[in-house]
């Protein structure tokens, strides 16, 4: 059986994880390499951030924005024919019904909502976080959701190159890129709003963390992601 070309499917379905649509991140080449060996296995996957926010930084506009498609979810459902996929977004995608897809509305800045989501899920093989790109949201979600990643699983934070202006309204913290770089050197997480116990739990359960850069004649900071491997 032939392996689907993830980049071609990303382009055809209209997600910028490929190399032709939108910001053309080109993540699919990296993902297909990592995921091919277990492509046909049954597992649970979570993706946070389901459709482009149309450039808006206003949370009220993001909440109420019109949504009509879930291109990356459709891509994953094709690539992983036995996976159950949970999609999360601050906007309402509940009208979209597809087999093996479940929608959960989620505010990335709400710790209780993140904990509720985590408690509702089985161990998860893959989490891809592609939501607001605000450092506080990225780090809060990592703290609350990484504990449900199964041993050997993956937690990705896409687009570390950007922190939107919405971050000015949130609790202060270092950029997620800075946090990841420091962790790779010291195995310490410099996330000030976490308790000492939360930080220690993450530090001891993340087996490996790194930034992936797509080099196109130099480091292309527009294609950076963090990968935290499960226990």
Positions marked active-site: 133
Contact 176, 138 (CB under 8 A): yes
How far apart are alpha carbons 41 and 151 in whole angstroms? 15
Pairwise CA distance, residues 93 & 116, whole Å: 19
Q: Determine the angle formed by the axes of helices 6-13 and 71-79, rounding to 10 degrees.
A: 150
Cα separation of 65 and 176, whole Å?
27
Under 8 Å between Cβ of 193 and 133: no
């Amino acid at each position: 059986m032939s392996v689907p070309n993830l980049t071609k499917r990303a382009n055809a379905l209209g997600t910028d994880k490929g190399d032709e649509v939108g910001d053309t991140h080109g993540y699919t080449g990296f993902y297909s390499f990592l995921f091919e060996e277990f492509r046909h296995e049954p597992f649970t996957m979570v993706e946070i951030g389901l459709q482009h926010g149309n450039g808006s930084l206003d949370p009220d506009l993001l909440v109420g924005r019109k949504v009509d498609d879930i291109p990356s979810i459709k891509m994953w459902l094709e690539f992983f024919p036995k996976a159950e996929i949970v999609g999360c977004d601050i906007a309402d995608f509940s009208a979209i019904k597809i087999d093996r897809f479940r929608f959960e509305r989620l505010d990335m800045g709400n710790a209780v909502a993140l904990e509720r989501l985590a408690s509702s899920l089985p161990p998860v093989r893959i989490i891809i976080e592609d939501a607001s790109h605000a450092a506080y949201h990225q780090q809060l979600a990592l703290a609350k959701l990484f504990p449900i990643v199964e041993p050997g699983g993956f937690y990705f934070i896409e687009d570390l190159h950007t922190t939107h202006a919405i971050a000015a309204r949130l609790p202060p913290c270092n950029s997620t890129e800075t946090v990841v770089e420091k962790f790779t050197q010291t195995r310490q997480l410099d996330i000030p709003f976490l308790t000492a116990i939360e930080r220690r739990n993450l530090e001891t359960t993340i087996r490996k963390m790194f930034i992936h850069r797509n080099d196109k004649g130099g480091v292309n900071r527009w294609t950076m992601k963090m990968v935290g491997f499960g226990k």
